[in-house]
Amino acid sequence: MTIPFYQVDAFTDERFKGNPAAICVLDKWPTRSCLQAIAAENNLSETAFICAQSAGYAIRWFTPTTEVDLCGHATLAAAYVVFNHLNPQLSRVDFNSRSGLLTVYKDESGWLTMNFPSRPAQVCAPPPALIAGLGHSPDLTLVADDYLAVFEDEATIRALQPDFELLKQLDKRGVIVTARGTDCDVVSRFFAPNYGINEDPVTGSAHCTLTPYWCEQLHTNDLVAKQISARTGSIRCELRDNRVWLSGQAVLVIEGVLHYG
């Protein structure tokens, strides 16, 4: 059995930058264990599986070890595949997911904009494993689906060398670390060792929490954000109607056929 396969670098216009996602185009759903095995074989932070419906596509996302409820970069990559390879006449695509309806728009310049849920965080006491795992005490700690650790400056974010075994003790999906940027509004990094991803290169879903936090702090509804992993990537963020609109670019790296079963 075979399925069309694409590997796309998301939140970048340069190959081998941004965050790579595998996109598998299905005509019917195999078993969950099969989907997980394919994601483990791909060994990327996310594999997205899409299957056409009467309106739009169903989408599911898997890390090498588990299925997740929301993934930004793989949704952006899936939209890129739809717009450039499956249905080039479209300028909008709807994805039905475990996090509800996610709509992606393409503009004339090729930028893609995703309408995602807003996930504001609440201030909390930093868990001991968070401080020990990061090796630094944040200036402020908040929590939503992830812990959000706010630091004074970009240099601190770049210098962090987490102990991922300690971060595995935390009870949330992962840890977002963030600060004001030097050549953008906001910088961040994202660690999710409990999901088989020590450091994710560029994390769209983390910006569902970063955007409402920084928009409130900076008294704006628009941000330019960079995730300063080794691969780096850029995201334009907008808070609108209690939703987070995330814009980025993408580029195809691999196209082929995946054999399974």
Residues serving a catalytic function are 46
**Cα–Cα nearest to 44, from 70, 15, 73, 69:** 73
Whole-number Å distance between alpha carbons of 206 and 208: 5
Whole-number Å distance between alpha carbons of 256 and 74: 17
Widest pairwise Cα distance in the chain:
53
**What is the torsional sign of CA 242, 119, 207, 86?**
negative
Cross-strand bridge partners of residue 254:
7
And the tokens for 12? Answer: 């970048």
H runs (alpha helix) in 136-240: 154-159, 164-167, 207-218
User: How crowded is residue 27: how many other Cβ atoms within 10 Å of its Cβ?
Assistant: 8
And the tokens for 79? Answer: 């939209």
